[in-house]
Amino acid sequence: MPERLEVFGKVLVELRGDGVGIVTLNRPEKLNALTADFLADLERALRELGGAADCRAVVLHGAGRAFCAGMDLNIGLARDGADPTRAAYAAMRQAVSVVAAMREIPQPVVAAVRGHAVGAGFALAAAADIRICAEDSRFDAVFVKLGMSAGDLGLSFLLPRLIGPGRTAELFYTGGALSGVEAERWGLVQHVVDDPLHEAVELASTIAAMPPMGVQITKELLDTSIGASGFREHLELELRSQVIGLTTLDHADAVRAFSARPRAAHENRP
């Protein structure tokens, strides 16, 4: 039974008695596709858990059949405004704050992935400390197909460190995807299981049972080992590249083509 249950808009937070915080992206009817408000709720949830002394590990997962289908192409990240570039910049800064929170909170984050992790969803999974996925998982780097840079929410920083620069380049330049089995073989995920949420909670419970200061300091050391001192600077470069991409005619044309596809295609792939 949860010790505490809170709702942050479309984000649910359960803090269990064993010190595991479970963060659920709760927009299953849209495959947990992201909007500006959704991202603000997610950052608030992560920061609150990060400051909770009784939380020692965090699990992030998506409700329903997908982890996260990336940006909601029908709504977009930018709220309506007179200056689309300014609006896109503000929305991307909010999105960047989410992955910064994942890396900056003291608790390790375990991502439990089922179904699609597309674009920004792929980036959220990569920003976790550990990834556990189902066999039906699909990590999709769709960016270039939408006229966008693949530098999104830390993904162009973290993914080369996880699977290597050559594999990352091939995936990004072709707008490719990895299945759960391929992701495990390439080192992106640590385990492929039937029930990733159950396994992630079990692993998080094991972590939560460890002396908390040792875990926190170890997370700090691991961040340093991958060059986290430059992560914030890299996020700023990615942010600018995404704002440029969001406001190009190429992107607008690609989104129109994507949205015009038959409904069956949307159901097969977000």
- Show me where the domains of the chain are located: 2-196+206-268
pLDDT digits (tens, 9 = 90+) for 169-202: 999 999 999 999 999 999 999 999 999 999 999 9
Sorting pLDDT into bands at 50, 70 and 90, what band is 268? very low
Interatomic CA distance for residues 44 and 81, integer angstroms: 24
What end-to-end distance do the CA atoms of the chain give, in Å? 33
Cα-Cα-Cα-Cα dihedral sign, residues 42, 169, 151, 261: negative
Q: 């200056």: which residue's tokens? A: 83
Q: What is the pLDDT, as a whole number, of residue 79?
A: 56
pLDDT-based confidence at residue 269 (cuts at 50, 70, 90): very low
Structure tokens at 250: 């190429």
pLDDT at position 77 is 56
Residue 86: per-residue pLDDT: 80
- Residues 5-43: tens digit of each pLDDT: 899 999 999 999 999 999 999 999 999 999 989 999 999
Average confidence (pLDDT) over 238-267: 66
pLDDT tens column, 42-80? 999 999 999 999 999 999 999 999 999 998 877 765 555
At 86-124, the pLDDT tens digits run: 877 787 888 889 999 999 999 999 999 999 999 999 999
**Rama region for 34: left / alpha / beta (φ>0; ψ in -120 to 50; rest):** beta
Return the higher-pLDDT residue of 215 and 265: 215
Residue 210 predicted with pLDDT over 60:
yes
Q: What percent of the chain has pLDDT over 90?
A: 63
Task: Produce one character per residue of 205-238: b if its CB has 16 or more CB atoms within 10 Å, e if not.
Answer: bebbeeebeebeeebeeeeeeeebeebeebbeeb
Compute the half-sphere exposure of residue 119: CA atoms within 13 Å on the CB side of its CA. 22
Question: Are the C-beta atoms of residues 67 and 30 closer than 8 Å to each other?
Answer: no
How far is Cα 121 from Cα 107, in angstroms, rounded to an integer?
A: 20
Q: Could you write out the DSSP letters of every residue in 129-167? A: SEEEE-TT-EEE--GGGGT--S--TTHHHHHHHHH-HHH
Each residue of 140-153: pLDDT tens digit? 999 888 888 887 88
* Kind and range of the H or E run holding 16: strand 11-16
For the segment(s) 2-196+206-268, the CATH number from 3.40.50.2300, 3.90.226.10, 3.40.1130.10, 3.30.2130.10 is 3.90.226.10
CA–CA gap between residue 261 and residue 211 (Å, rounded): 52
Q: What is the mean pLDDT of the chain?
A: 87
Question: What is the rounded CA–CA span in Å between residue 249 and residue 226?
Answer: 36
